Amino acid sequence: MREITYEQAALEAIQEEFRRDPRTVYMATDLHAELQQEFGVDRIRVTPIAENSFVGAAIGLAGSGFRTVVNIRMATFGFVAMDQLMNHAAKITYMFGGQAKFPILYRMTVGAGISAAAEHSVTPYPMYMNSPGLKIILPATPHDAKGLFKTALRDNNPVVSFEHILLGEVKGEVPEEEYFVPFGQASVRREGADVTVVALAKMVHEALEAAEDLAREGISLEVIDPRTLVPLDVGTVLESVKKTGRLVVVDEACQTCGAAGEIVALVTSDEATFGRLKAAPARACGLDVPIPFSPPMEKYAVPDKARIVKAVKDVMRAVPVER
């Protein structure tokens, strides 16, 4: 099978859907020359650097029968448009009583790793999880970038795609034939028996590397990539934890009020799964600090393979609680 980059896979999905549906519109603050050359200036719009304006304009377009793609670029720029995203896009279908559809795909990059400092290294998707009405996707591979985008561009609801900034040039297998990755269906990236590791975005790759190292020590990890946070495939996680009895959740976002804590809560509040736990669940998350500019300090602030290995070994050493 051919291999292409994550960003190429995302672009392919957009191109295919724009060829299929002439009422699709793309907006971003910089010119995407390849898209504009094929689809023209009316459909591929270069906007002012005013995120609140074009994020809001996408809602109006969607409600008028268009399907919009809005590339906000870095997630920090999305903060300028929080009213439009959380107070309007998230709620407008409900406020219309479902009588109108608002198909929008908002794209944002997240994550550290390029020494972009505190403002440009944010990972804020837990904030958006707490805004009912938005679907949230978190592609970790080129295959899923294309498949999830294809699904998003057929969905009649606002979808927010958070894409780790270091994944853009990562290559992976992507079929040439059309395919879709459904929302709410996790991927078991590696089967194992000792510890369930639920990893988000770039952390999927770190977790798989940790699994390779730990396998040489006789510790078997089951690595789960949720792929979408809203909807979240809770069932796959619960079944895995029932099998392994141990859980580590890995996320680059800050630990406090994060997706990792929600996943842990869902596992421990399920009576059947809770009864199978051999150790308290653990989290390996970003520190609750602004991301430093200094490369060594930046590296220290986010999880990596070593921190995942430590978290796994800690839950393996834990003494089972008598019930």
Residue numbers annotated as active site: 120
CB 255 within 8 A of CB 283: yes
Classify residue 2 by burial, with Cβ atoms within 10 Å: 0-12, 13-18, 19+.
exposed
* Sequence-separated (6 or more) residues with CB below 8 Å from residue 6: 139, 141, 142, 145, 163, 167, 168, 169, 170, 171, 172
Cis peptide before 231 (omega within 30 of 0): yes
Report the residue count for the chain: 323
Residue 139 CA to residue 5 CA, distance in Å, equals 13
Q: CB-based contacts of 43: which residues, under 8 Å, 6+ apart?
A: 18, 24, 25, 26
Q: Count Cα atoms within 13 angstroms, Cβ side, for 167.
A: 27
Q: Which two tokens stand for residue 186?
A: 């996790």
Distance CA 95, CA 88 (A): 9
